[in-house]
Structure 1
Amino acid sequence: MIDKQINKDLILRERLALQRTILANQSTFLAFLRTSMYFFIAGLSLESLLKIENSFIIEWFLFISSFVIFCVGVFNYFKHKKMILDNEKHIGDYKMQYDEQ
């Protein structure tokens, strides 16, 4: 009886930890997206705010930076999502042990 309770608690803790990790991964992706949008908006508004000669160079730098940050964020999100899904199978091992008893 005690062994079943320990395994059940272990499964619950593992599931909750997995859920927190998934939410953290999503939050990180949204931070990358927000930063990318800031760079993009800065590029759009640079010419109207500042009268700088050759401002298009700075604008293009900001646009390219925005695209790179977005791509890194997408790559990071899917890389970590795959790692999370790969580690989810370990929770199943505990569940199988619990069902057998």
Structure 2
Amino acid sequence: MEIKKQINKDLILREKLALQRTVLANQSTFLSFLRTSMYFLIAGLSLKNVIKVENSILFEIMLFGASFAIFTIGCMNYVKHKKSIASNKKHIGEYQLEYYEF
């Protein structure tokens, strides 16, 4: 009986730690999208000063568009995975209920 309590307690802890790692991985991925978006934005802002191209405004608009698209995809990805993580959080309770019945 004591061994089963210990196993269930370990499962609860393991599940909680796995969810925390997943949340941190989701945040890290969002920050990567944000960083890439900022790189494209800065490239668009500095293109006119670095390269003297005839139609540089076209390249700037393309880089701004890519920056906005990457940022939007990153936000949508973050929200989608955050909802998924929140909905999977309830599965920890199954182990919790087994643990507290003893």
In the superposition, the TM-score normalised over structure 2's length comes to: 0.98
Could you tell me which residue of structure 1 aligns to residue 69 of structure 2?
Answer: 68
Cα shift readout 1:78-100 (whole Å, capped 9, x = no counterpart): 00000000100000111111111
Equivalent runs, 1:89-100 vs 2, <5 Å:
89-100=90-101
Could you tell me which residue of structure 1 aligns to residue 13 of structure 2?
Answer: 12
Aligned-residue CA RMSD (Å): 0.4
Could you tell me which residue of structure 1 aligns to residue 22 of structure 2?
Answer: 21
Q: Could you tell me how far 1:24 is from its partner in structure 2?
A: 0.1
Could you tell me which residue of structure 2 aligns to residue 40 of structure 1?
Answer: 41
SS at match of 2:53: coil
Cα shift readout 1:48-90 (whole Å, capped 9, x = no counterpart): 0000000000000000000000000000000000000010000
Distance 1:96 1:26 in 2: 30
Q: Could you tell me how far 1:38 is from its partner in structure 2?
A: 0.2
List gaps (5 residues or longer) in structure 2.
none
List gaps (5 residues or longer) in structure 1.
none
Distance 2:48 2:18 in 1: 47
Q: Percent identity?
A: 66
AA aligned to 2:40 is: F
Distance 1:96 1:29 in 2: 34
Distance 1:34 1:87 in 2: 28
- In the alignment of these two chains, the number of paired residues is 101
Q: Deviation above 2 Å: which 4+ runs of structure 1?
A: none
